[in-house]
Structure 1
Amino acid sequence: MERLLVIPLDFPPPLKVKLVCSSIDPLYQAVINVFYGFIVSRMKAEGILGRKEFANGSDEDIWLAALLTQVVETELAQCSLLMVVDAWYFQSTVIGLLNTWTHLRQVVVVREAEDLLTAVWEGSQCRGYVFLLHNPMPLLSFGNLDPKAWDYYGKHIVVGLSAAELETFTYTTKGRKTQHIVGLVKSEEEGEWRVYINQLYARQNVAFASKWRRSHFTRTPHLFPNKISNLQEAIVNVGTFEWPPVVLYKRSSDSSPYLYGRDVEVLRALAAAANFTVNFVEVPPGEVWGTRLPNGTWNGLVGMLGSGAADLGIANIYITSLSDRDDYQHFSAPFDHAVNCAFLRVSPPLPRWQALLWPFTQHTWLALVVGLLLSGPVLYCLVRHSAERSV
């Protein structure tokens, strides 16, 4: 497996340099150390390390490295890792203490949100992401950029955001639908970090999990639970429109319509199993599933899913990638199969007098006519020849 190191060498503009190493851990470690020293020397030449806030070495760095190492060893031991750091953390002793992780596959140094587009957000196995950000703005801005540039099923650990900033990120396009986000927030106490985890579709998007004090957790946290199996009565917005017989409306003058039908009943069974509350959101009239607009966005149900106005969608939906709509929506496993048929007009029955003619082809009728025409002369010749022989 290849390892990637992506580092902006110039400030500004960042120059992305990719270094591909073999899987030999000593070689990889040596290359990381060489590049780390080279980048630090470049930062000294630029005067960056002369700033007051860039102070190498502290007990806080050591305690943070111990916290991250324990989380990685206990929760992400089987995962390939990607680390995102900014300049402030890159020159600290934290990065030097963490670059011994043998399953670290990529390091990305960022100054702005667009730098995160260089990260590899896909993988066939377990993926872990560690963000060390003194400035939270690149990550907060990146949360609403290209929705395809993100791993929604990966395990994300974020350091450097406050609790309020962490919750803000969980409301972004990416953060809202990411299953696992763990925030490590520095408290005012020396050596203490507060640990938060995100909650999918909950009224409170971030929940306190535990505290880390210098070398241990005050209580053992469960950082990456299965949140899909139990959404804890969260409200899930479901976009739909009337489409008999799968979605039907029973309307009344004094209340919102009552929905029923095949897709609605499947959704209610899913809500009961996963413990969430359904809030139906009607698609604007006439837009139904949606069409792609000239500016590249979508209206209708696809547009609601892409914008976050709806979390799920039902309405006789077929699995298709037509017009790249799968950039905005994913599909569940199919629960029904359908076959489309076309009706064609059948010719009317023939009149009775033509019924005798149509079963035979033109060649058959030609043979019959020729046979009738020749049968008379042939019979005449046979009879005459027989009479002459008898005389």
Structure 2
Amino acid sequence: MYNIKKLNKISPVIYDYLPKEQYNVTSHLEDSESDAFLVRSADCHGMEFAENTLAIARAGAGTNNIPIDRCTQQGIVVFNTPGANANGVKELVLGAMISASRNLPEAYDWAKTLKGQGEEVPELVEKGKGQFVGGELKGKTLGVIGLGAIGIMVANAASAIGMNVIGYDPFLSVDKAWTISMYTHKAEKLDELLEKADFITIHIPQTDKTKGFLSTPEFSKMKDGVIVLNFARGGLVKSTSLFDAMESGKVKKYVTDFPDEEMIGHPGVLAIPHLGASTPESEENCAVMAAQQLKDFFETGSIHNSVNMPECIVPPSDTVRITILHKNTPNMVGQITNKIANYNLNIADMANKSRGEIAYTVLNLDHDVTPEVQAELGNIEGVIKIRVI
């Protein structure tokens, strides 16, 4: 029985994948009793993780609410669910582009002021509508920064409605590239996108390196009157630079799903209260993916969609399986296999994957693994965490 603590409200669909006969999934657990955590927005930075904690599954893409480095040091696998909420965000980005371009928020607010004018309303509407005239999206150029699951869906949808699309992602994978519309032009340099786009939408993770990704140098290269959309993370856009760009007319409007105190009420900002993935469909998709990842990890040792550990997909096995998270140093696998050989244990199959300074070794053995063997393996310098399945 595995204990999984919910730190937020999670769609009950998780119980279809984590049956109660094998998994105790509840919010009523002590942190120290939890083998894993399911989280959406709860801040985990102040948490202390016990030795028995094996994994954290984030039902969403962003993981800035999780102490990734500390989890890595403690051998805790952190999963996220990239793409599970992509359609919900994509649709909101398209709606936001239309709203900003056609001045719908301003028009809506103005129309409410006509309440009580009786039969004069139709005439007042015709007289006043000219102040809200906006442009169509068809034929305009959209720049998409970051071609991950969401960015690609936005790019493809924009192409389908007749927009010219420029995408920029220096780390675009081959698998992702196959899913991009043939009509999307891939920019080799960010400047090419900034100089040509009428709309710019950013879809990259927020890290120490990407914080303030759009700042004064980037805004200065944009077309006058550009509309910028941020449905990724607030810190990707430097606020002071943005306000300067709006004051000068360089940026016509800024649409953000992550408003702060300064942005709320600003005439050039369309502030949305983090609604990108707030759909029943997105929440269910994220919950399903998170639950499946935990189930696969607990039952087979497979690691898929981890933000801090190597990708390692291993099929179920009838043999005894031992998984070892360890430092990615020379002769580590040799030391592990030698220890096992010293106990006359036969390795039927094995996998070894690495990611930076961390590696993951999975071994299928023809014999049971005693506590003594586990202790011997754990004493190898650089071994972080061992588990027998």
Fold conserved (TM > 0.5)? no
TM-score by length of 1: 0.29
Max radius of gyration: which structure?
1
Structure number with higher relative contact order (C-alpha < 8 Å, ≥ 6 residues apart): 2
Q: What's the TM-score, normalizing by structure 2? A: 0.30
